[in-house]
């Protein structure tokens, strides 16, 4: 960046900071009110923050009542520093547009904003204590570390209050009083290469503040002399699922200087449990709760928790109270599910997960939170609705591990979760060649991190394992520390050595592979028998670049970047990789797009062709794993890299940062239908897939091969298909078909015996095959020596369509039903018809939105009914926007049922 530009940007930031500080000086938040009774947890709802370079007072003064936090920024309770500055509109530009984020990293007049500690300061109100009462300050992880102060007294040092994940309870009883109190955190900056925090590698640019702050929040806890924590219910389910036994524990801690007898009692799955123990001063003990004379709780005919698509996801409740001297002292509660999880290794050494006795194909994506770790419950819920709509059953979290709300949503939706530590920074430094050895302090933070995460995760039925390594396995001493800690916390789930193909003495063979690709390869790649093709358990893999819809591309890229995207494939794109990494350019993707579909004529043409490619490739990836569920070298799992993005990106997502589903989304959704029909690129076979446990009888398959002009060159009906649950089977091998056009279509349909539609799937194929140069493969792609030819798609005549749409209100949501028809008089099929909902003809897109299907291809005389569900904001102005590969864009008002023709 030119020196002059850096100076101007620095001045802009300094001015913005000053003006924002002045604007916020008069803004105050009410103190957090802490409930009066024992056993309450009160999250700090708001902080005021400021750079220590600007807050010139000493620590004791800042943490006392009466200090005037003038020109400090009011922020929400889980804000990182960058999130807080964005919340205060400090930067007068969209940090997600173009390379604007670079400007945030420019020093201002007083130096870089994020190299000095920042203060977080909040007030809280305590009611007058009645009887023996303790007040705890509970932190849930701080990046990178913090000193904690309460009412002018330092209560914890940053050497002890360090790490993104450890939970700490600090007894601050002697320093607080009834009425107004102050807590202050002096948060120290971190570097993920040097501390056990959070790093981003090549997912997106590094946040300028390295995510410093109390990102998971801080609580004020009120308790009596004995505190309860870590409630745990460990179910054991019989093989016939007819009975479950529950081992129930909770940790009781005596906070007093005298011994206490404590009775812990309550219910677990509506059954009473109780235990009385004596606790010496300061002792913490894991208390096992009994049901009458039995050491465990027994459930006959339990409500079993199943992954999505295999059954329901019921949850039970545990709630207990500690009583000391006849008075309630503390409470603890948790939800849990009854299910069993096992994992075995296939003959080839790959991991197979088994839930409730049923082996299942793991079909998931890699999770990314917002890059500034902003906490948005509504967005998280929307993203889970997308995972459900996509037909996925699993999320993998490589670091960036989420708060409890995430796992609660996974539990309720039946989405499996595979969490674990992240790659490529401090977490794996000790395992990498030349990496810096860990200190004793690092080991303590790692142990505390593992213990805290185990306690957070172990009650959630959605969680089925934990990766103690990602791109590298931890060295023996660290692996042993992780395993010992997990055992001490009652962990009963599989522990995975790493996401790569490694074995450790402590956790055994990983059963994983991580052999790429991460960049463009053709759909046929997935049906091979090498590298990242569909066999075994692929922990992270995809064909790389994923291009959002045109509206989002224009929103995220500058005019110059937009031009380079379609015209100059060797140009580095900041939204592909902010660093000079392998993925900074989209050359493999752009080359393939031009070779296969023809050189783009403008940005809109580039984006349209990208949607075709993304749909086709993502569908093929999941379908190949479907097809080989029961193969001799079976596919047992695939994690698409990635599910989503931490910021607007041109790489690795099934839906983009703006939550606007595009081609990749609908390709994945099509492939992951519960009951599905698909085409195999290797054998030309037609396969039907059943991801449910219910056997389906009497299904019928229709297979048509059409030329580009729509003429049918092959037509076959397959009757009386009986398809077992959790199974894939071949129902037809396509013969060679003569007289095909260079681009032709395969149209598949699966119906019930009575003709009710079950699955419909359309492929565009080329008589010229993509050919891979396997010997020249590397860790991220396999070169292509011959590309398929789909350029004839550009010669399709313009199709005509008819659209009828209506909208109804369903609580907080609107549901729009669209009938999309291609009249018999249309001169051509309508290829990849994409539907969207707008709030008015020129209004914004209605997002998030879940469609029953989208990006559909129809021939003259065919029609389909599609439904969309989205947050309601009045339905009078709802407009359905329809666009396609060879149809003009059109809009239809979706009020009362009505139709129009284009």
| 79, 48 contact by CB (below 8 A) | no
Q: How far is CA 197 from CA 114, 158, 853, in A?
A: 15, 14, 40
Question: 611 in helix, strand or coil?
Answer: helix
Name the residue among 137, 115, 122 with its Cα closest to residue 188.
115
> Could you say which of 538, 540, 623, 789 is catalytic?
540
First-residue to last-residue Cα distance in the chain: 50
471 included as an active-site residue: yes
Count helices and strands in the chain by DSSP H and E runs: 14, 50
| 316, 237 contact by CB (below 8 A) | no
For 793, other C-beta atoms within 10 Å of its C-beta total 21
Name the maximum alpha-carbon separation found in the chain.
Answer: 91
Name the residue among 651, 552, 649 with its Cα closest to residue 607.
552
Cα(237)–Cα(245) distance, integer angstroms: 7
Where are the strands (E) in 303-427, listed by range?
316-324, 327-336, 341-345, 351-355, 358-359, 362-366, 394-398, 416-420
Q: Which residues contact 68 (CB under 8 A, 6 or more apart)?
A: none
Quick one: tokens of 19? 């003006």
Quote the DSSP letter at residue 174: G
551 included as an active-site residue: no
Strands 218-223 and 40-43 come out as antiparallel
| 621, 526 contact by CB (below 8 A) | yes
Q: How far is CA 273 from CA 250, 328, 584, in A?
A: 12, 16, 58
On the CB side of 483, how many CA atoms lie within 13 Å of its CA? 17
Cα(28)–Cα(69) distance, integer angstroms: 10
User: CA angle 835-667-462, nearest 5°?
Assistant: 110
Quick one: tokens of 563? 């031009």
> Could you say which of 375, 471, 506, 855 is catalytic?
471
Q: SS3 for 478-544, per residue?
A: HHHHHHHHHHHCCCCCCEECCCCCCEECCCEECCCECCCCCCCCCHHHHHCCCCCCCCEEEEEECCC
The residue whose two tokens read 């010229």 is 768
Quick one: tokens of 581? 């990494």
Name the residue among 307, 329, 308 with its Cα closest to residue 320.
329
The residue whose two tokens read 């940007």 is 9
Name the residue among 499, 424, 507, 417 with its Cα closest to residue 458.
417
Q: Which residues are catalytic?
A: 471, 540
């Amino acid at each position: 960046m030119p020196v002059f530009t850096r100076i101007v940007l620095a001045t802009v930031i300094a001015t913005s900071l000053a003006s924002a500080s002045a604007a916020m000086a008069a803004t105050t938040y009410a103190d957090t009110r802490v409930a009066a009774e024992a056993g309450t947890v009160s999250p700090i709802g708001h902080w005021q923050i400021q750079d220590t370079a600007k807050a010139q007072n000493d620590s004791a003064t800042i943490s006392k009542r009466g200090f005037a936090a003038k020109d400090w920024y009011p922020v929400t309770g889980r804000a990182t520093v960058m999130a807080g500055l964005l919340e205060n509109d400090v930067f007068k530009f969209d940090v997600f547009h173009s390379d604007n984020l670079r400007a945030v990293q420019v020093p201002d007049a007083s130096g870089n904003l994020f190299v000095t500690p920042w203060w977080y300061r909040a007030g809280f109100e305590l009611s007058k204590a009645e009887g023996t009462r303790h007040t705890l300050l509970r932190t849930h992880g701080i990046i990178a570390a913090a000193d904690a102060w309460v009412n002018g007294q330092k209560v914890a040092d940053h050497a002890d209050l360090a790490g993104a994940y450890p939970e700490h309870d600090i007894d601050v009883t002697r320093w607080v009083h009834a009425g107004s109190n102050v807590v202050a955190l002096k948060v120290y900056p971190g570097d993920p290469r040097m501390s056990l925090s959070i790093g981003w590698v090549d997912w997106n640019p590094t946040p300028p503040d390295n995510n410093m702050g109390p990102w998971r929040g801080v609580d004020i806890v009120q308790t009596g002399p004995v505190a309860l924590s870590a409630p745990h219910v460990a179910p054991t389910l019989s093989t016939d699922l007819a009975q479950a036994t529950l081992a129930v524990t909770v940790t009781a801690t005596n906070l007093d200087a005298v011994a206490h007898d404590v009775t812990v009692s309550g219910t677990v799955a509506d059954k009473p449990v109780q235990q009385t123990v004596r606790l010496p001063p300061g002792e913490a003990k894991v208390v096992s709760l009994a049901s009458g004379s039995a050491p465990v709780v027994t459930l006959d005919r339990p409500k079993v928790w199943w992954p999505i698509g295999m059954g329901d996801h019921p949850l039970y409740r545990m709630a207990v109270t500690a009583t000391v001297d006849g008075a309630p002292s503390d409470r603890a509660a948790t939800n849990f599910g009854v299910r069993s999880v096992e994992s075995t290794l296939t003959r080839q050494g790959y991991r197979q997960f088994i839930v409730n006795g049923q082996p299942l194909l793991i079909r998931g994506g890699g999770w990314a939170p917002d890059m500034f770790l902003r906490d948005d419950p509504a967005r998280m819920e929307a993203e889970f609705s997308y995972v459900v709509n996509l037909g996925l059953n699993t999320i993998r979290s490589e670091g960036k591990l989420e708060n409890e709300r995430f796992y609660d949503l996974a539990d309720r939706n039946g989405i499996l979760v595979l969490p674990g530590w992240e790659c490529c920074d401090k977490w794996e430094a000790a395992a990498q060649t030349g990496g810096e050895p860990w200190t004793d302090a690092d080991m303590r933070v790692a142990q505390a991190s593992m213990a805290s995460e185990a306690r957070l995760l172990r009650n959630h039925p959605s969680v089925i394992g934990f990766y103690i390594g990602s791109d590298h396995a931890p060295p023996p001493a660290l692996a042993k520390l992780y395993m010992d800690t997990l055992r001490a916390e009652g962990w009963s789930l599989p522990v995975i050595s790493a996401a790569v193909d490694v074995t450790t003495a402590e956790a055994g063979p990983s059963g994983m592979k991580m052999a790429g690709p991460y960049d463009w390869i053709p759909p046929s790649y997935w049906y091979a028998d090498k590298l990242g093709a569909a066999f075994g358990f692929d922990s992270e893999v995809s064909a790389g670049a994923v291009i959002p819809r045109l509206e989002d591309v224009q929103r995220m890229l500058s005019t110059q970047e937009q031009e380079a995207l379609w015209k100059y494939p060797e140009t580095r794109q900041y939204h592909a990789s902010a660093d000079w990494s392998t993925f900074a350019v989209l050359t493999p993707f752009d080359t393939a797009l031009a070779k296969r579909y023809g050189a783009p004529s403008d940005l809109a043409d580039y984006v349209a062709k990208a949607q075709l490619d993304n749909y086709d490739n993502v569908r093929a990836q999941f379908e190949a794993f479907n097809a080989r569920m029961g193969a001799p070298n079976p596919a047992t799992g695939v994690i698409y890299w990635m599910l989503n993005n931490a910021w607007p990106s041109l790489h690795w997502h099934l839906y983009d940062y703006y939550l606007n589903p595009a081609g990749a989304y609908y390709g994945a959704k099509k492939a992951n239908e519960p009951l599905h029909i698909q085409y195999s690129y290797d054998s030309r076979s037609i396969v039907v897939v059943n991801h449910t446990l219910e056997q389906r009888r009497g299904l019928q398959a229709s297979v048509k091969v059409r030329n580009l002009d729509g003429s049918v060159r092959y037509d076959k009906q397959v009757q009386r298909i009986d398809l077992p649950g959790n199974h894939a089977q071949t129902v037809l091998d396509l013969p060679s078909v003569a007289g095909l056009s260079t681009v032709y279509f395969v149209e598949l349909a699966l119906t019930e015996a009575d003709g009710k539609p079950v699955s419909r799937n359309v492929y565009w194929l080329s008589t010229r095959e993509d050919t891979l140069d396997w010997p020249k493969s590397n860790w991220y792609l396999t070169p292509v020596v011959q590309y398929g030819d789909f350029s004839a798609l550009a010669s399709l005549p313009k199709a005509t369509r008819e659209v009828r749409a209506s909208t109804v209100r369903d609580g907080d949501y609107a549901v729009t039903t669209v009938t999309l028809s291609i009249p018999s008089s249309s001169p051509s099929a309508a290829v990849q018809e994409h539907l969207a909902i707008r709030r008015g003809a020129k209004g914004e897109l209605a997002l998030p939105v879940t469609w029953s299907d989208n990006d559909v291809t129809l021939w003259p005389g065919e029609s389909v009914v599609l439904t969309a569900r989205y947050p309601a904001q009045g339905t009078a102005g709802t407009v359905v926007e329809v666009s396609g590969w060879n149809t003009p864009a059109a809009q239809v008002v979706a009020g009362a049922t009505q139709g129009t023709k284009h």
